[in-house]
Structure 1
Amino acid sequence: MDINEFFGTKKDAQPAGQRPVAASASLTVAPLLYGLEKSSGAYRLIVDNPAACSRRLKEGEVHLALIPSIDYAQGKGSWLIVPDLCVAHSGASKSICLFFNENVSRLRTVALNKNTPSEEILLKILLNERYQSLPEFIYTESDPQKMLSAADAALMVGDAALGFQNTNPHYIDLTEEWYDFTGLPFVASLWCGNELLLNLRDVERLRASFAFGQEQMQSICENWAKSHPLAVSDCLDVLNKKVYYTLKEEEQEGLKEYFRYAFYLGFTDHIPDLHFWQEP
């Protein structure tokens, strides 16, 4: 697939005509973004942390963003979900984990990072409902060693979680816990867009970007391993077995269940309906 040909852009296209799109950079989202990164002219990809991507969408800096799923529930903006695509886990993910120093049943403090709100709410749901635990939560910088020095346990997400497992085997895989608890997948991220600006071409390009990424899994993992403490085989294992990207009926049910618990425990003030972009 020639991604520029599909996008209707030229390799020497100028930045002036590009539409800004926000997403975070991590191994688990890399296949979704690969086509956007390799194409020219259609979009200007802004890489930021997940919480900041939601803020950029809310404030109108971008018309399209890959956002934490909880921000869709908490957001008051007029957002539509891009159909068919998401970041989801059914069972163990290896990338959303609670690391701890001692017995997880005796947690008094848990270190968090403000940039991963969906995973933070997932952790709080599971601690409340599965472990009947109400520890104190402390926001710290996202350094694994410092987090575990400051608290009894630490929530780590994405590349931080994947890398830290090599040195600390004491952890709970939270998406595995969620699946055991509900029998449903956990949807971590959604492509969302401004309802007045999101269009068919955007949706087609996001789908094409992911299709291109699927074809290039080996290249994605080889490039990722060069700059991260993970072997190519470990990266391939994560992308082929621990994460997937379809937003079908089961994923939607998992998302709704997650929103119900978030509302029940007071993390949101309503249970949102899922509003998808639809072709006119």
Structure 2
Amino acid sequence: MSIQLGKIGYLNVLPIYHPLESGLITNDFQIQSGPPAALNNLMDDGKLDISAASSIEYARHPEKYYLVPNIAIGSRGPVQSVLLLSRYPVEELQEKTILVSSQTHTSAALLSVLQNELWKIETGYTTGNATATLEKGERPDAILAIGDEALNLRFHPDYPHRIDLGEAWRELTGLPFIFGVWIVQRESWEASKKTLMDAVSKLIEAKDWGVKNIQQMCTLAANESCLSDKEMCSYFNGLVYDLAKDEIDGLTLFYSHLKKNGLINAIPELHFIP
């Protein structure tokens, strides 16, 4: 059985997927890459066995998935790749409009939580491609940019106010924020438990290798980016790839805020693979 594995198409998961894609860790994965929103849809449609997914995807359909333990993508403060880029101070965005990347689900939900709970503002939203919009000469009031696009746009001269959503979450809660988790289809698990367990072990082995060799990953990622080795290492060093107690506490609290703000119907229990 070939395992269909989803991969977020951003540099921040390079430490996890490079060992698999380069053959450093032998595996039988068929890897499909895409933005978080696309992977969420593929998992929801049952087209992937295991995938990185937005943390909100698990909350929306907990009956469909098991969480993979000991692996996530998040931050314990500034994340650098989930940014609200604004022409105005955040408190002056009241009743203005934010362009939100169409690639994100979790970051858009986090933005809504922060607006309601931390900044106490209400705004309008449009969805689209920030880079294409800026290249056309348009200048939205503010932009929610994620992933590699956020890294590339973070010093845009027309957007002097940069709010890091990972840091804003820490300001609100004092906890890490988990943007993405790895989930397994329950149907796939029931059909092929041993194969899926072996696959999960390979995935976690790859994460451990990547974290142990993070300096090498920085250099490799910088070669594919406009960032220098030093900037890329600063970025990677701010990320967390584990799902330990503090990260689980942060994830659970995020789900509580989603429920409070009407973004999910119920707070899900966290069910890890048996």
1:58 counterpart residue number: 44
1:10 counterpart residue number: none
Q: Could you give the per-residue CA deviations for residues 85-123 of structure 1, whole angstroms, max 9, x where no partner exists?
A: 101211111111100012221211100012111011001
Q: Tell me the SS of whatever aligns to 2:121.
A: coil
Q: Tell me the SS of whatever aligns to 1:87.
A: strand
TM-score, normalising length from structure 1? 0.87
* 8 A contact 2:8–2:36 mirrored in 1: yes
Report the Cα offset of residue 158 of structure 1.
1.5
Residues 191 and 148 of structure 1: is their aligned pair in 2 closer, same or farther, counting only changes over 3 Å? farther
Q: Could you give the per-residue CA deviations for residues 32-69 of structure 1, whole angstroms, max 9, x where no partner exists?
A: 21222122551011001111111111212111010000
Q: Measure the CA separation in 2 of the matches of 1:148 and 1:23.
A: 32
Report the Cα offset of residue 164 of structure 1.
1.8
Q: Which runs of 5+ in 2 are unaligned?
A: 190-195
Aligned residue type for 2:83: C
Which of 117, 120, 127 is 1:139 aligned to? Answer: 127
1:222 aligns with 2:214: no
* 8 A contact 1:100–1:148 mirrored in 2: no
* Higher mean C-alpha displacement, 161-170 vs 135-144: 161-170
Residues 23 and 63 of structure 1: is their aligned pair in 2 closer, same or farther, counting only changes over 3 Å? same
1:171 counterpart residue number: 162
Q: Tell me the SS of whatever aligns to 1:277.
A: coil
1:250 counterpart residue number: 246
Aligned residue type for 2:188: L
Q: Measure the CA separation in 1 of the matches of 2:209 and 2:113.
A: 35
Q: Tell me the SS of whatever aligns to 2:241.
A: strand
Q: Could you give the per-residue CA deviations for residues 165-194 of structure 1, whole angstroms, max 9, x where no partner exists?
A: 233442111111111111111000000001
Q: Measure the CA separation in 2 of the matches of 1:103 and 1:26.
A: 28
Q: Tell me the SS of whatever aligns to 1:275.
A: coil
1:12 counterpart residue number: none
* 8 A contact 1:102–1:152 mirrored in 2: yes
1:90 aligns with 2:87: no
Q: Measure the CA separation in 2 of the matches of 1:156 and 1:99.
A: 7
Residues 94 and 63 of structure 1: is their aligned pair in 2 closer, same or farther, counting only changes over 3 Å? same
Which of 107, 111, 131 is 1:123 aligned to? Answer: 111
1:142-153 matches, within 5 Å, as 142-143=130-131, 145=134, 149-153=138-142
* Higher mean C-alpha displacement, 53-62 vs 163-172: 163-172
1:18 aligns with 2:2: yes
Residues 148 and 110 of structure 1: is their aligned pair in 2 closer, same or farther, counting only changes over 3 Å? farther
Q: Which runs of 5+ in 1 are unaligned?
A: 1-16
TM-score, normalising length from structure 2? 0.89
1:186 aligns with 2:177: yes
2:186 counterpart residue number: 195
1:37 counterpart residue number: 21
Report the Cα offset of residue 150 of structure 1.
4.7
* Higher mean C-alpha displacement, 227-236 vs 71-80: 71-80
Q: Measure the CA separation in 2 of the matches of 1:78 and 1:148.
A: 43
Percent identity, aligned pairs only? 25
Residues 214 and 76 of structure 1: is their aligned pair in 2 closer, same or farther, counting only changes over 3 Å? closer
Q: Measure the CA separation in 1 of the matches of 2:50 and 2:149.
A: 26
1:13 counterpart residue number: none
